[in-house]
Amino acid sequence: DVKVTQSSRYLVKRTGEKVFLECVQDMDHENMFWYRQDPGLGLRLIYFSYDVKMKEKGDIPEGYSVSREKKERFSLILESASTNQTSMYLCASSFLAGGNTDTQYFGPGTRLTVL
Amino acid sequence: AQKVTQAQTEISVVEKEDVTLDCVYETRDTTYYLFWYKQPPSGELVFLIRRNSFDEQNEISGRYSWNFQKSTSSFNFTITASQVVDSAVYFCALSESGGGADGLTFGKGTHLIIQP
């Protein structure tokens, strides 16, 4: 079974704080993704990575950065948290299927509240 | 640009009724992938199905079935004899073949409520 874990289920931070959200997968997947989910907007892609130290911007990268130092771990960083970053953050991973799109498997999510 | 539309924001049915969740997509690519995910109240997205654009066969898995029609750009999901445990938010998603990592474009989801 694919296992994607996220460091926290719930997190409360203050405006201006630096926030780290951690994601770990145990299936040796090459690809990892960060999405945010907001009511009425569905899921939107923030960043993704297809290899260690590689990263690509998604649809809404502003205000975020990422780090991938090891294959199994992908971190989302909020350099200076703002209230509009209050959201549910979902991490996913998949195989790099040689030109095809493989299934993405999701973690349980981190509900972040920025006060 | 790719887009997924789930026009039904919320559907409420009584247990044992059949229910169909609609999904309409837009893409310029001839090769693409469609997905359905279920998000129960616990929050974790659960993968249900993946279908590529070259395979228009309908699929049935127990009480679940999917109808893929390229002519109408639709990939609808039907639950037969619904049960309370089917209550969840369901997302349809699209990915264009990019030769590498590919983020999914999600619809806004349909909240399905099954009443006992």
Q: What is the pLDDT of residues A22-49, one digit of tens each?
A: 999 998 998 999 999 998 888 999 999 9
Residue A1's contacts (CB-CB under 8 Å, 6 or more residues apart) are none
Contact across the interface for B101 and A100, Cβ inside 8 Å: no
**pLDDT at residue A99 greater than cutoff 70:** no
Task: Report the pLDDT value the prediction gives residue B43, as an integer from 0 to 100.
Answer: 87
Cα distance between residue B10 and residue B109, in whole Å: 9
Handedness of CA A85, A44, A29, A6 (dihedral sign): positive
- Transcribe chain A into DSSP letters: ---EEES-SEEEE-TT--EEEEEEESS--SEEEEEEEETTTEEEEEEEESSTT--EE-S--TT-EEEEEETTEEEEEESS--GGG-EEEEEEEE-EETTEEPPPEE---EEEEE-
**pLDDT at residue A100 greater than cutoff 70:** no
Task: Report the pLDDT value the prediction gives residue B101, as an integer from 0 to 100.
Answer: 59
Residues in chain B closer than 8 A to A42 (CB atoms): 91, 106-109
Residue of B nearest to A97 (CA): B100
Cα distance between residue A66 and residue A55, in whole Å: 7
Chain B closest CA to A107's CA: distance in Å? 6
Task: Report the pLDDT value the prediction gives residue B99, as an integer from 0 to 100.
Answer: 43
Residues A24-60 as b or e (16 or more Cβ within 10 Å = b):
bbeeebbbbbbbbbeeeebbbbbbbbbeeeebbebee
Contact across the interface for A45 and B108, Cβ inside 8 Å: no
Q: What is the pLDDT of residues B66-87, one digit of tens each?
A: 999 999 999 999 999 999 999 9
**Per CB distance under 8 Å, which residues of A are interface residues toward B?**
30-31, 33, 35, 40-45, 48-50, 56, 58-59, 88, 90, 92, 94, 96, 99-101, 103-109, 111
Q: What is the pLDDT of residues B4-51, one digit of tens each?
A: 999 999 999 999 999 999 999 999 988 888 999 999 998 889 999 988
Chain B closest CA to A16's CA: distance in Å? 27
Q: What is the pLDDT of residues A11-22, one digit of tens each?
A: 999 999 999 999
